[in-house]
Amino acid sequence: MSIYGGIDLGGTKIQAVVVDAQSSPLATARRATPTAGGPADVAAEMQKTLREAAAAAELEPHALAGVGVGSPGRIEGANVTSASNLPDWEGTFPLGDVLASALGCRVVLGNDVRVATEAEFHLGAGRPYDSLLGVFWGTGVGGALILAGETWLGRGGAGEIGHVVVEMDGARCTCGRRGCMEAYAGRAAMELHARHLHEEKGRGTDLFKLMKQHQRTRLTSGVWARALEHGDKLAIEVLDRAVSALGAGIASVVNVLDVEGVVLGGGLGVRLGHPYAERIAGAMQPHLFADSQPPQLHVAALGDLGGAIGASLLVRSEG
Ligand SMILES: [Zn+2]
């Protein structure tokens, strides 16, 4: 029976999984994504993470039928270019070849958000539907589309829901443009905004104390969740702003495409879960044109393993 590996390369963490022929996880491993160095350092951490997962499944990586990788950035064959939110990865790096020679097995690359959406479509919350919008609320806000049962790529750039404009001439986005949904809702943008309110406007918050207490260098999803549990006013305000932006952005996409379902994933989406999915559905409602039949909004059923499980499907589809 064939066993497959999958690696989800995120801005905050690297998640690896080893799955059986039915895509059920046999073992998992997780490491923090390096914040310094460059692509070679990230690749080294990736192969360590996959090795840990394989060891937990009592396998050597070369015994796997293949390893799929979901990566940010532009993917052309075995190369990844301009992987944003990763250290010094503006240029092109042969990630597929580097991992294949380190692990001794076949490696196939795919777009991180697309593979996670396909995993939800085939194995998770999107199973009842023919059309699905995946929204991955994490360091940035990624999106992918499945229309009439097929991933819609457009001319290659489809699905970038994070860069739907929710405010003309609004906040500066990491993409260099203004007013994008991600500039309000992405974890990185939320951190910058919280820091600005705290350090320059003198607003009180426990966010940065919690970050240090938990030995984090960033305001991770867990730090946000803990601050919310403490009723931290500034955290609540920044999250409210993110929810409004997500509601407007997702509703705008639904107005154009009328998808049956929306799956909310990503570090923040999975961590904050159902209560926030409901809040986002509520924030969408006033912006929906066909407001009597909103799409169902689900939290990713595969949780934060969806990206890695979806990546493992890449090696399968290439048989
Ligand atoms: Zn943008």
pLDDT in tens, 192-201: 999 999 999 9
**Class for domain 128-301, per CATH?**
alpha beta
Distance between CA atoms of 232 and 224, rounded to whole angstroms? 9
What is the CATH topology of the domain spanning 4-115+305-317? Nucleotidyltransferase; domain 5 (3.30.420)
In this prediction, residue 85 carries a pLDDT of 76
Shared fold status for 4-115+305-317 and 128-301: yes
Cα–ligand 1 centroid distance for 229 (angstroms)? 30
Residue list, CB under 5 A from ion ligand 1: 163, 173, 175, 177, 180
pLDDT by residue (tens digit) across 164-190? 999 999 999 989 999 999 999 999 999
The CA 228 to ligand 1 mean position distance, Å, reads 26
Residue 319: pLDDT above 50?
Answer: no
For 33-166, list the strands marked E by DSSP.
67-71, 74-76, 79-81, 92-93, 107-111, 132-137, 141-147, 150-151
pLDDT in tens, 224-282: 999 999 999 999 999 999 999 999 999 999 999 999 999 999 999 999 999 999 999 99
Q: What is the pTM of this model?
A: 0.93
20-58 confidence digits (pLDDT tens): 999 999 999 999 999 899 999 999 999 999 999 999 999
Contact 249, 181 (CB under 8 A): yes
Q: Please report, for the chain, the start and end positions of each structural domain, with discontinuous segments joined by +.
A: 4-115+305-317, 128-301
pLDDT of 317 strictly over 70: no
* Distance from Cα 172 to the centre of ligand 1, integer Å: 8
Distance 245 CA to ligand 1 centre (A): 13
For residue 115, report the distance from its CA to the centre of ligand 1, in Å. 21
